[in-house]
Amino acid sequence: MRMRLTILAMVLLGCDVAAAGEVPLPRPRPHMPVWNEPRSFAEAVAGLNIDFTRATAEPTACDRELAAIAVTQPMPWSIGPGACGGRDIVELEAVLDRDGTPIALKPPPILRCEMAEAFASWVRDDAVTRFAAAGDKLHEIETFDDYDCRGRNRVAGAKLSEHGKANALDVRGFALDDGRLIEPTDAHADRELRLSLRDSACARFSTVLGPGSDGYHEQHVHFDLAERAHGYRICEWNVFEPPPEIPLPRPRPTIVASDKDLH
């Protein structure tokens, strides 16, 4: 018994000594060089398979057409990653009404010129006219999403979204001169106006997605110029009516306690 206790004590003592000894540190990580910002455009695009022979500072025909109906800022040639981006990209700051009044877009979307021109033309020729028919004047457009290098509906691994090509714009609302905000997805907004906006948009854009389309566009409307075989278009924007009001139950009659009930 005494020998067993001695052995046990030695084992415990050995454990304590080992625990108190130096604990080996992990091996140092290999040195990772610090990535520095490129000092020139040539360094930034080194190794990328891009044909720069088409790159030019001269405005394109689209740029000239857009300048007559909108306020824009030219953007640098957007590069990747992958198939994202493109050439002739602009920031669309405002659309010019027929009388030259700017209708601001906030925040200003980044779009390829063709998409910016299509949207500006729709606002100028269709949306403004339809708001005027309702007795309103369009003042500002509240945007939601524009150029974003991602898959469709932000699903990992999904096909590249038209947003990744700067070829799509999401709209959340239309601000009027009197301060009101008309949301195209609001079932309580003027239904005839929303129907008219939808029909005119579907005649201009390849894709229009709103409430009832796929569950991702319940609070905004998506517009894009996706190219499909045979000019196929998608127009999925349900213009809902307000849900019926459910009558509340009548209030219960007030019961007044008598002196007899109090005793």
Confidence check: pLDDT of 63 > 70: yes
Tokens of 245: 């009001």
- Boundaries of every domain in the chain: 58-236
Query: Taking the model in full, what pTM does it have?
Result: 0.72
Q: What is the pLDDT of residue 243?
A: 80
Q: What is the pLDDT of residue 58?
A: 78
Tokens of 52: 């720069």
Q: What is the pLDDT of residue 159?
A: 87
Q: For residues 138 and 171, is the Cβ–Cβ distance under 8 A?
A: no
Instruction: For residue 28, name the pLDDT band (cuts at 50, 70, 90).
Output: low
Of 131, 237, 146, 111, which is closest to residue 181 (Cα–Cα)?
Answer: 131
Cα–Cα distance measured from residue 227 to residue 215, given in angstroms and rounded to the nearest whole number:
23
- DSSP assignment of 162-225, as one string? GGGGT-EEEEEEEEETTS-EE-TT-TTS-HHHHHHHHHHHHHH-SEEE-TTSSSS-SSSEEEE-
pLDDT digit string, tens, across residues 203-256: 999 999 999 998 889 999 999 999 999 999 999 999 999 887 777 788 887 776
Instruction: For residue 158, name the pLDDT band (cuts at 50, 70, 90).
Output: confident
